[in-house]
Structure 1
Amino acid sequence: MSVDISQFLASVTGAPPVHQAPNSRYRDTPTAERRNPDGTVTVHLRRRFVPQPDASATLGRVRVRDGDRIDTLAAEVFGDPTLFWRLADATLDARPAGLAAEPGRVLRVSAAAEGPGGAGA
């Protein structure tokens, strides 16, 4: 099965995101549509670009303790374990689970970036 790339590109839209939780890192990420060869349409999220850490204010820092997990650190810092992605974004770490694997490491706590792809919370 081959896909006509020009047809695919023509089908990509800047429609607003749908069904994203208010605290999701994808909240402000627009959707795109792809028309499949069978005529059905698949809706997906466009790529989310991680905001540069210096684009948001530093609110503080948190030191990783032995046994910490990224979700428990987020619960401690933000009061919501699902905001773990904010700690990852602040360090540009692509592996959020690895952030808490180094006891003694100091993580930056930042305000959520505003704008496309940066969910402001």
Structure 2
Amino acid sequence: MSAMSGRYDSVPIASTIVSDGTGGLREVRYLRRRALPDPRDVLTAAVHRVTAADRLDLVSHRYLGDPTAWWRIADANGAVDPDELTGPQAEGDLIVIPLPGV
């Protein structure tokens, strides 16, 4: 496993009190919204030309050494839907690979 941090490691935890449905109250903890980085501020390690057979986890493993760090590539490219970055529909597209840990 890589020493990289997780996608939500730096997101603060908040809480709220809600009805428990039986007349009581309970505390619900949740993660606050995660701010996405501006893709223009990403430090680029590489640029990858997508093939029809690419999967984001495999691309992440190839460049970042961790298949679970796919979200770093998604964030670096401003992807709302990470699945749109790879696969036959994205063949030939260029995607930015960020520097690891940034």
TM-score by length of 1: 0.70
Which aligned segments of 4 or more residues in structure 1 are displaced greater than 3 angstroms?
none
Contact 1:23–1:82 (8 Å) recurs in 2: no
Query: CA deviation digits over 1:39-65, x for unaligned, max 9?
Result: 211111000110101223111111111
Question: Kindly, what percent of the aligned residue pairs are identical?
Answer: 32
Q: Which runs of 5+ in 1 are unaligned?
A: 1-20, 113-119
Alignment counterpart, residue 42 of structure 2, candidates 46, 56, 59: 56
TM-score after normalising by structure 2: 0.82
Q: Which residue of 2 aligns with 1:90?
A: 76
Unaligned runs of 5+ in 2: none
- What displacement does 1:22 show? 5.3
The structure with the greater share of residues assigned to strand is: 2
- Give 1:111 deviation, angstroms: 2.9
Per the alignment, residue 104 of structure 1 pairs with 92
C-alpha RMSD of matched pairs (Å)? 1.8
